[in-house]
Amino acid sequence: MSQLRTKGKSTIVWILMGLMVLGLGGFGVTSFSGGTTEVASVGQTKITADEYARALQSELRAFQQQTGQPITMQQAQAMGLPQSVQANLIASAALAEEARRIGVSVGDAQVAQTIMQAGAFQGPNGSFDRAAYAEVLRRERLSEAEFEATVRDDEARLMLQRAVVGGVTAPAPLVDQTARWLLESRDFSWRELTEDDLPAPVTEPDEATLRAWHEANGDRFTAPETRAISYAWATPDMLSATVQLDEAALRATYDQNIDQFQRPARRMVSRLVFPDAAQAEAARAQIDANEAPFEAFVLQRGLTLDDVDLGEVTEAQLGAAAEPVFALEQPGVVGPIQTDLGPALFAVNAILDPVDVPFEEARDDLRAEAALSAAARLIRDRTGDYEDILAGGATLEDLAEETELELGRIDWTADAPAEEGSIAGYEAFRERAAQISTTDFPQLAELADGGVFALRLDEVIPPTLRPFEEVRDAVLADWREAEVQRQLLAAAAELRLEEVAETVTPTPEVGAEPAADTLWTAETGLQRSDWMDGLPPQLLSQAFALTEPGDADVVDAGDRVFVVRLDQINDADLSQSDAAQVLDGVRARLNQSLQIDLFDYYARHAQRQTPVQLNQSAINAINAQVQ
């Protein structure tokens, strides 16, 4: 029933789902008059400033989590998010007012149970933690009385909801009809037409035709917006060759990362402990006889493979099992071996040889790695100098002349793939390049590998139709593709008429062999939810759009053309065992849909029957503070 409440997000939902823990600090909101200012009222039910602020912040956070992009209040207002939050709060308040009017309420015991079961207030042991409860309320500037009153109102709304939709079920004929529609299967045949099936080759167009095609389909031959950008940048890779490194520094790096160069032999091992030696011996015997694998005994004990996995272990870590485990020359099972936990079987999953790379062999790789690290530190140490130079009014050209940064220029488009080694391959550059305007001054920014850059937008070249002479080959290919598709659709339409006409021809004599037709592919017993590998989904959907056996249709799949012919409709048998699950699912979905609609109508009615007052100045003040 919880899904019925999605149209009116109540405060308790936001709080008890853990959103309160996040607070409002991330947006710079600190106070809204302690919740005393009203932003709206529905009858005698008030919506406070804090309630609106929390709901608005929750909606903004949810949007940012879904998109992965930050959102400003101006963008949120342009998308109507504040208005949506207000509508949800008003709908929720209207239901609370209706519950108050007709005397629906819950007792203290129900309020206490709801709070104690909320995950936001549970301690490490999974039970209600009084300290966590007090801390969350303190962060949200709520007293216990205020919060418990909110919980009581929300539970009353839930009780009202149950009373309105309780007992609402979908009619059985509707459930059966929907299930039959879902489970119906069809037999059909299809044939794909290709260019080889055309009666004549596609003739080459003349220049006038191509020029007309170029003009009529200009959007396909238009260069996207291009941004002419100058930039100065430096990366650790660019500066690594200039970094001076002594032997002592390389030796220190080697010693700091000795685990990468010196490691003993290891085994990837799983260990399964048994209650007694007899059971361990019996399991080993079955494994040796190939009657059951090691993994089967893990599952029999109610464990998972992760539960018994020891990971990479050395000989010194295995104790009594070390010698037999490391004696194996290939993966296998050893044991039983008596361990501190009891008799156990050890499965060796992989054999990892020792690693022994002396300093002399690692020197070149260490030099490259250490040089990159040193270059990154150099850039980081000089970032302040770069910023000071730009702040003093220097151009990118000046910056490149005075520092290690290199000057470059690029004609950048948002969708163009970046060349290897290009600055356009960095996400930070692409984000800045898309946002910068010609009036912005160059600012230093960081790259993901520790480099820095600054850029300047020199010119914005709007989308421009490429000259015909420049894209003639592309125009010809595009025209030809469209012409082939047009002719294939025409040929398919003729073939469809022929197939439909054949359904009224006399049937062959009894005993006559049917003519073989290798051009058509027959499919049998397919349902709407099936997938035809290597074929477009339109083929199956149009097969189910046909109404009578013998009907045929043309399938235009964009770059492929088919003719599909319906051979037989197979009615669903709802008495089959596999139909029961579908019937249950259909019944649940229809019940839920009816309940949602009914409660929505009730909520709308309750809202229309009660006067709504908005404090627009308070709403505007909160919107202005949310950043």
- Per-residue pLDDT tens over the stretch 530-550: 989 999 999 999 999 999 999
Of residues 596 and 29, the one with the higher pLDDT is 596
Residue reference for tokens 């949810």: 62
Identify the pLDDT of residue 361. Answer: 66
Indicate if the pLDDT at residue 23 is higher than 70: no
Indicate if the pLDDT at residue 465 is higher than 50: yes
User: Is residue 75 left, alpha or beta, with left meaning phi > 0 and alpha meaning psi from -120 to 50?
Assistant: alpha
Pull the structure tokens for residue 44. Answer: 């005698």
Q: What is the largest CA-CA distance in the chain?
A: 99
- Yes or no: say if 120 and 15 are a contact pair by the CB < 8 Å rule: yes
Give tens-digit pLDDT for 250-265: 777 777 777 677 788 8
Question: In whole angstroms, what is the distance from residue 335 CA to residue 345 CA?
Answer: 5
Give tens-digit pLDDT for 143-174: 778 787 778 777 777 777 777 777 788 898 99
Identify the pLDDT of residue 162. Answer: 77
- Yes or no: say if 617 and 624 are a contact pair by the CB < 8 Å rule: no
Task: Give the three-state DSSP class for 478.
Answer: helix
Kindly indicate the confidence band of residue 18, based on its pLDDT and cuts at 50, 70 and 90. very low
Question: In whole angstroms, what is the distance from residue 142 CA to residue 263 CA?
Answer: 57
- Yes or no: say if 298 and 308 are a contact pair by the CB < 8 Å rule: yes
Identify the pLDDT of residue 19. Answer: 36
Kindly indicate the confidence band of residue 597, based on its pLDDT and cuts at 50, 70 and 90. confident
Identify which of 48-52, 134-138, 271-275 has the greatest average pLDDT. Answer: 271-275
Q: Give the distance, in angstroms, between the CA of residue 77 and the centroid of all CA atoms in the same chain.
A: 25
Indicate if the pLDDT at residue 140 is higher than 50: yes
Question: In whole angstroms, what is the distance from residue 336 CA to residue 274 CA?
Answer: 9
Question: In whole angstroms, what is the distance from residue 341 CA to residue 338 CA?
Answer: 8
Of residues 518 and 34, the one with the higher pLDDT is 518
Task: Tally the C-alpha atoms within 13 A of residue 4's C-alpha that lie toward its C-beta.
Answer: 27
Q: What are phi and psi of 65, to 5 degrees?
A: -65, -35
Indicate if the pLDDT at residue 571 is higher than 80: yes
Indicate if the pLDDT at residue 125 is higher than 50: yes
Question: Starting from the edge strand earliest in sequence, which strands make up the sheet with 561-570, in order?
Answer: 521-527, 185-193, 561-570, 552-556
Of residues 113 and 347, the one with the higher pLDDT is 347
Give tens-digit pLDDT for 174-227: 988 998 898 999 999 999 999 999 989 999 999 999 999 999 999 999 989 999
Identify the pLDDT of residue 7. Answer: 36
Work out the number of other CB atoms within 10 angstroms of the CB of residue 339: 16
Q: What are phi and psi of 572, to 5 degrees?
A: -75, 145
Pull the structure tokens for residue 153. Answer: 């109102």
- Yes or no: say if 228 and 459 are a contact pair by the CB < 8 Å rule: yes
Contacts of 50 (CB under 8 A, 6+ apart): 32, 34, 35, 140, 141, 142
End-to-end Cα, the chain, rounded Å: 35
Q: What is the 3-state secondary structure (H, E, C) of 125-172?
A: CCCECHHHHHHHHHHCCCCHHHHHHHHHHHHHHHHHHHHHHCCCCCCH
Give tens-digit pLDDT for 34-88: 445 788 888 888 888 888 888 888 888 888 887 777 778 888 888 888 888 888 8
Cis peptide before 336, with omega less than 30 degrees from 0?
A: yes
Kindly indicate the confidence band of residue 245, based on its pLDDT and cuts at 50, 70 and 90. low
Identify the pLDDT of residue 517. Answer: 57
Pull the structure tokens for residue 347. Answer: 């499965």
Alpha helices in 503-615 (DSSP H): 537-545, 577-608
Helix (H) or strand (E) holding 52: helix 49-67
Indicate if the pLDDT at residue 324 is higher than 70: yes
Question: In whole angstroms, what is the distance from residue 413 CA to residue 34 CA?
Answer: 49
Give tens-digit pLDDT for 284-320: 888 888 888 888 888 887 888 888 888 888 888 888 8
Identify the pLDDT of residue 22. Answer: 35
Contacts of 386 (CB under 8 A, 6+ apart): 399, 403, 405, 444, 452, 454
The closest of 419, 420, 447 to 432, measured between CA atoms, is 447
Contacts of 607 (CB under 8 A, 6+ apart): 42, 90, 91, 94
Kindly indicate the confidence band of residue 364, based on its pLDDT and cuts at 50, 70 and 90. low
Kindly indicate the confidence band of residue 510, based on its pLDDT and cuts at 50, 70 and 90. very low
Contacts of 129 (CB under 8 A, 6+ apart): 121, 122, 123
- The DSSP bridge partners found for residue 355 are 263
Backbone Cα Rg of the chain: 36
Kindly indicate the confidence band of residue 120, based on its pLDDT and cuts at 50, 70 and 90. confident
Contacts of 387 (CB under 8 A, 6+ apart): 444
- The DSSP bridge partners found for residue 569 are 186
Indicate if the pLDDT at residue 528 is higher than 70: yes
Question: In whole angstroms, what is the distance from residue 373 CA to residue 378 CA?
Answer: 9
DSSP state of 396: H
Residues listed for the chain: 627
Work out the number of other CB atoms within 10 angstroms of the CB of residue 23: 15
Identify which of 330-339, 372-381, 455-464 has the greatest average pLDDT. Answer: 455-464
- Yes or no: say if 423 and 231 are a contact pair by the CB < 8 Å rule: yes
The closest of 25, 16, 163 to 104, measured between CA atoms, is 163
Question: In whole angstroms, what is the distance from residue 564 CA to residue 202 CA?
Answer: 25
